Structure 1
Amino acid sequence: MYASIDRSIMWWLPFCFMALLAGGATAGGRGKDGGGGGSERRDVYVVYMGAVPPRTSPNLLQESHLRLVGGVLTRGQPAESVVVQQYKHGFSGFAARLSKAEAAALRRKPGVVSVFADQVYQLHTTRSWDFLQQTAVKIDSDRRSSAPRATKPAASSAAAAASSSPTAGDTIIGLLDSGVWPESPSFDDAGFGPVPAKWKGTCMAGDDFNSSNCNRKLIGARYYDLGEVKRSRSAQSSGSSPRDEAGHGTHTSSTAAGNAVIGASYYGLAPGTAKGGSATSRVAMYRVCSEEGCLGSAILAGFDDAIGDGVDVISVSLGASPYFRQDFSEDSIAIGSFHAVAKGVMVVCSAGNAGPDAATVVNAAPWILTVAASTIDRVFESDVLLGGNNSAVKGGAINFSKLDKSPKYSLITGESAKSSSVSDTNSARQCEPGTLDASKIKGKIVLCHHHAGSSNKMEKVDELKSAGAVGSILVNDLERAVATAYLDFPVTEITSAAAADIHKYITSTSEPVGTIAPTITVTEYKPAPVAAYFSSRGPSAQTANILKPDVSAPGVNILASWIPTTTLPVGESKPSQFNLVSGTSMACPHVAGSAATVKAWNPTWSPAAIRSAIMTTATQLNNDKAPMTTDSGSQATPYDYGAGQVNPTGALDPGLVYELGEDDYLKFLCNYGYNVSQIKLIATSLPGDFSCAGNASKDLISDLNYPSIAVAGLGKAGSRTVSRVVTNVGAQEEASYTVAVAAPAGLDVKVAPSELEFTKSVKKLAFQVTFSGENAAAKGDLSGSITWSDGKHTVRSPFVVSI
């Protein structure tokens, strides 16, 4: 397994597209009867029935599900033969193998919110936590008082802060992922006390996994039937176990809550102490994914069990394609997370890896904390040394090159090595498979230009290696920040500007030569953080009046625990216990770990309060004390990083929070377009006279008491006023906050009142923000911020107004 961006979605898109054209489930039963009897084709459908009715036992709920599905089956066909999952803890529903006619009949049944085909979702450290702390300390020292912050200790890291919390060891992080490798030292339970009494979960036995694999750190592990997605992908792995076969779940869970492991590295690279963000938290793994994907029905089962088991935070590093979005009532992650949050469980999800295109963010429901990816101040440098004056050209990748350090190997460009049978010089320039003459590249280093639309770079490298090349230099502006592991074959990736220097050298001499140096670890790299190119961007195509993503966190070249692999560098006798991986999947558990730390310090806080604390204390400056940028160098916006990069220590003491409850989310559903009958089924409990406002509209979504503000479609001559309420959670009951507004040119922003006075009896205060586009110079998305401060706390809310 080599380090790479988590980009399985790319090969999955054609499969998804064909499945959607076919009009059926992407992972249903195959053949005419699909194992359910009868002559019609049967696919797996999810039947979602909203909240669990009050005072209904799980057994009664299961029986009612069987009666419901039995009513649409052929006479004599047992319901048990078609039901594959039942949801009975956090919400009601089931998954069953049904014909189209049976699914349609269930849609018409009373009490059913939605029926939808089972979907396949995709899976989207030593330095990262240290970098977060260092960046936050530098920024805090510039903008805040040096006095101790309320009653919270000045912690050297998020993990240290959690460890000194009186309830730290009681916090449980549940992960919906690809499983766990329990033998990893990240999950050793030395020093842990008894499992929290609130834990109601289990450790399921399975293939190469038994109950003794769990302990006082890894307290639970479940798995779900993934046979459907495996059959659909012709996979060989079993999936009948909580054991991780992909590495993804082991990586994310150790990032969120892994123990401190001294001497961690990836074959000597990125050395240091690997640790999770909330190292004292317990871990519960819910294996809902294989390497081939994650079934929506299994995801719902994972949410349902996690709610019933008693977890505090759920981390979900997976999502649907941004190009085939389901409505909230047909999205397994949106459904499961809604009911988790309604039960007081924090849900953190990855934003997706479809960047840098706009409007690609997924997991954008307002009850989810959605995480984008950014870089840290560590890079992996592999330089090119050129002959003549021995000049060095900086490059980046992971290779354990055994080439001579002296520049003695012939250099050739792809176009110079073009096969005589190929007419397209540009394809040869990019070293597309089948375009080069092997006799021309044998024993040489080949310079290849790589673009987003060209073939996979590993395919190119493998063909060069097979043809006898001794190394390759890839010109790769977009992806260079993600350090791909080429292991023993010398490969480095450079910018177009650096490539121009190499081209100039090649044309200046009759015998150009060079060499590629082995990778070294470089820390304190500037600027960092930078918004990762692959991280999905806002605005949300579903909820333009909610700003998504919410925050960013380290997601590039993250070192964390991994499963054993058979692909080893030459000279290594055993696999590394750690791996370097990139993706919003890696960013998500950073925030889940931070959320668990905040929860440990504030056990009674709601998911909304925890999210608010994380968002309003996020940072927007890099380690040059300049505004964060994108990988292209342009200034980043809230569509790139939300409120900014997470600040784990700052989130412990936010001063003010924006609270939200289930009722607020139900009003959101009204404004989004759901009718009262649907909402009454979805909700945990509602008064009989509940109704949606007569003026409900998507414009009113901007009034949701969110820590950020988004206003879509503001006319140049118009204005919009939105309302917010903040709650004082600081140590000082009597506190005075004043507002500062940072607005772009041409957008008029007024906040009323401009001061908030909290007392012992006044904990909550409201304010209004009026946006006017009357003087806006041009159409587009205009961003800024509103910041409340009492001299100790800085409570910042970003806004985006589209005109």
Structure 2
Amino acid sequence: MALPPSMLQTICFLYAALLLLSSSSADPIRQQYVVYMGSSSSSANGGEFAPESAYLQMLSSVTESDDGGEMGLVRRYQHAFRGFSAMLTEDQASALSGQEGVISVFPDPILKLHTTRSWDFLESMSGLSNLMSSSNSSSSSTSGHHIYGVPSPRRDVIIGVIDTGIWPESPSFIDEGIGEIPSRWKGICMEGSDFRKSNCNRKLIGARYYGTERTYNDNKTHSSKPKGSPRDTVGHGTHTASIAAGSPVANASYYGLARGTAKGGAPSARIAVYKACSEDGCSGSTLLKAIDDAIADGVDFISISIGMSSTFQADFLEDPIAIGAFHAQEKGVTVVCSAGNEGPQLNTVVNSAPWIFTAAASNIDRDFQSTLVLGDGRTFNVRCKYFLLLNLMFNAMEIMLRALFLLLWEFSSNCYPGSLDRNKVAGKIVVCVASDFSISRRIRKMVVEDARGRGMILVNPEDTGVPFDSGTFPFIEVGGRYGTSILKYMNSTKNPKGTILAAVDVPGYRPAPSVAYFSSRGPGPLTENILKPDVMAPGVSILAAFPPKNVTGTVPAGEKPSWYALKSGTSMACPHVTGAAAFVKSVHPKWSPSMIKSALMTTGNLCCYTLIIVMINLSKLEPIF
């Protein structure tokens, strides 16, 4: 019996759809891979080995395109090591991995950023404060000695910072009193849409950026010009660069907090920036390209406050930072990296390759404190996990928030998104109880703000010791003991009231130094027989340069955006170590990376409690000068 025409049409349609689906599903997915081929070679005449044609030939051998592999090539590495990154299918990557000369082929990973008084603290720990004050009056340009009482630097040191770029107009990057750019410098100052060659100077001597190096349109044509500029719109790179080598800037502060002289560890050092990251992170292939360029440009140090996740750590032959750092060490370039912010659990340290100088984070002897005054007159002095700025919005020195407390139980008590009733919360100080640690403080603060709360008290039994910048929104965090007292008071009266006072500096905080709660711990999962991190340096509430961004909720009324910010993380510890290492290199220009690393590790102070961590000690370096 013949099928009805409508049924026949339906069958034909379904058959065509299945063919279309099968053909589309058969189309393999392409993603970016890194092909690593080991140390670079040189031509017979001493020139640089330029292997792009060889890379294209390799690509064409595993692809079916008629462009000779050119369309798939994204980046090539040619200075300190050989290799390239390309858009490949899984099968093509597997085929390349078996070719002669290929050491490893791996998917291009995305790495994340490990987001003043700190140098004064190191000096005071080392017993150098008195030495500084006594030598300031006696030292001069002809004395041949640094203010620490040790020989003056005899060589310009160049620090390469691979990060999110730089804000060149910051006072921390002025070149007053700095000599001409070293003749050995081979780098460039790339221009972009908002960055000119004139933004570089004798302090900031180089700037590169890495956008999409080859962009394609519908006609499959490409351009080798990267998009963007070296300018830092995130702030992370500006902050880390100024910690390592920022020029001294007197009276720097974050809206009055942490006021003092902001300076880098090696203020006479030169800075070269390599913008390889955005707020979303950094691709491994771009990091490799930045390291390769930095080595060729002639840097002495590379500072990298970036790392992979500790959840799954790739083998060293598939870790872009480990690969790049290995070849940098071969060329005499010291690479300093952050240990990660996934503590206090063990085996969370990243950047743990033996040839990397890995930095953990500590606090310093300055903290921030706010006072909560209850309606019955009791006061609670709490460590400030935020930087309250509302005192600048009023004539009074204190903020009097005479508002009702509001306690919300069960779902609302954690301040989950969507859990607060704006009619009940508006104009009140909201008390949130942190029983679910999957919700960050930042999210809770946003929830209360969206509900028009006037302030927030977070009762958190786990004291992480990690400062939190809540901008102009009053936010304090209390431990379980204080939290219990606050809740008892609220239950004892029908009209609970409270006052949150402005945040203030608290110098002389103890214990300091101590390992920051968030700082990743060792041993490294890939090298458990090697102690990591190598050294500890300040990384909590560090005042350093920052782009003056006018973001709602972060700038007090009547104030301009700050040129400085307080940030925490092993990202901040890393450039402290870089700066100290650069100081050593400036006096001992012939020392190798291993000698510099050994000098800092063997002269540091053992710290802290049951943890064997070395805190850099500037004074103990004196005998080696």
Tell me the TM-score range normalised by the shorter chain.
Answer: 0.7 to 0.9
Aligned to 2:104: 114
Q: Of 287, 306, 313, which aligns to 2:294? A: 306
- 1:413 aligned onto 2:399: no
Task: State the secondary structure of the residue aligned to 2:184.
Answer: coil
C-alpha change, 1:40 and 1:444, in structure 2 (3 Å) is closer
| Distance in 1 separating the partners of 2:150 and 2:198 | 30
Partner residue in 1 for 2:4: none
Q: State the Cα deviation string for residues 332-355 of structure 1 (Å, max 9, x = none).
A: 000000000011100100001111
Contact 1:177 1:317 in 2 (8 A): yes
Rate the CA distance shift 1:651–1:74 in 2: closer, same or farther, 3 A. Answer: farther
Q: CA deviation at 1:452?
A: 6.4
Deviations 1:566-625 (A, max 9, x none): 22433234210011111111110000001101111111111011111111111135xxxx
How many angstroms does 1:319 deviate by? 0.5
What is the aligned counterpart of 1:214 among 197, 200, 204? Answer: 200
Question: In the TM superposition, what is the alpha-carbon distance from 1:652 to its structure 2 partner?
Answer: 4.9
Given the alignment, which residue of 321, 326, 336 partners 2:324? 336
Query: Is 1:73 the counterpart of 2:69 in the alignment?
Result: no
Residues 373, 583 of structure 1: 8 Å contact kept: yes
- The CA deviation string for residues 516-550 of structure 1, in whole angstroms up to 9 with x for no partner, is 11111111111111211111111110000100011
TM-score normalized by the length of structure 2? 0.86
Aligned to 2:516: 532
Give secondary structure in 2 for the equivalent of 1:620: strand
Aligned to 2:76: 86
Give the Å deviation of 1:42: 2.1
The answer for the alignment partner of 1:624 in structure 2 is none
Unpaired runs of 5+ residues, structure 2, are 1-22, 132-142, 216-225
Q: 1:61 to 1:161 in 2, by over 3 A?
A: farther
3-state SS of 1:360 partner: coil
Residue aligning to 1:650: 620
Structure 1 stretch 398-407 or stretch 86-95: which is displaced more? 398-407
Matching of residue 437 in structure 1 with residue 425 in structure 2: no
SS at match of 2:544: strand
Partner of 1:318: 306
Residues 8-47 of structure 1: pairs in structure 2 closer than 5 A: 40-47=28-35
1:399 to 388, 405, 420: 388
Deviation at 1:228, TM superposition (A): 10
Please state whether the residue corresponding to 1:49 is helix, strand or coil.
strand
Cα–Cα, structure 1 residues 226 and 618, in superposed 2: closer, same or farther, change >3 Å? farther
> Which residue, out of 591, 596, 612, partners 2:582?
596
How far off its partner does 1:435 sit?
2.9
- Pairwise CA distance, 1:75: 5.7
- 1:291-302 correspondence to structure 2 within 5 Å: 291-302=279-290
Whose RCO is larger (CA < 8 A, sep 6+)? 2
Which residue, 74, 79, 89 being the options, matches 1:99? 89
Aligned residue for 1:553? 537
Aligned residue for 1:103, secondary structure, equals helix
Which residue is 1:58 aligned to? 48
What's the CA shift for 1:470? 1.8
- State the partner residue of 1:461: 445
Once residues 496 and 313 of structure 2 are traced to their aligned partners in structure 1, the CA distance between those partners, rounded to angstroms, is 52
Q: CA RMSD in A?
A: 2.6
Relative to structure 1, the CA distance from residue 254 to residue 346 in structure 2 (aligned partners, 3 Å threshold; closer, same or farther) is: same
In structure 1, the residue matched to 2:431 is 447
CA distance in 1, matches of 2:79, 2:563: 36
The letter for the 2-side match of 1:637 is L
Q: Which residue does 2:262 correspond to in 1?
A: 274
State which of 346, 357, 360 in structure 1 corresponds to 2:334: 346
The Cα shift of 1:102 comes to 2.1
1:290 to 2:278 alignment: yes
What residue number does 1:605 align with? 591
Given that residues 355 and 535 in structure 1 are in contact (C-alpha distance below 8 angstroms), is that contact kept between their aligned partners in structure 2?
yes
Q: Which residue in the other structure is 2:493 paired with?
A: 509
State the secondary structure of the residue aligned to 1:92.
strand
Query: Could you say if the C-alpha distance between residues 483 and 79 of structure 1 is closer, same or farther in structure 2, counting changes exceeding 3 Å?
Result: same
- Residue 198 of structure 1 and its aligned partner are, at CA, apart by 1.2
Q: Distance in 1 between matches of 2:110 and 2:117?
A: 33
Match of 1:496 in 2: 480
> TM-score if structure 1 supplies the norm length?
0.67
* Matching residue of 1:697: none
Whether the 8 Å contact between 1:432 and 1:454 is mirrored in structure 2 is: no
Query: 5 Å matches for 1:779-794?
Result: none
Is 1:483 aligned with 2:483? Answer: no
Answer whether contact 2:369 2:506 (CA < 8 A) is retained: yes
| AA aligned opposite 1:250 | T
Contact 2:50 2:78 in 1 (8 A): no
Q: 1:245 aligns with which of 207, 225, 233?
A: 233
Is the 8 Å Cα contact of residues 339 and 570 (structure 2) preserved in structure 1? yes
1:503 counterpart letter in structure 2: L
Shift of 1:483: 2.2
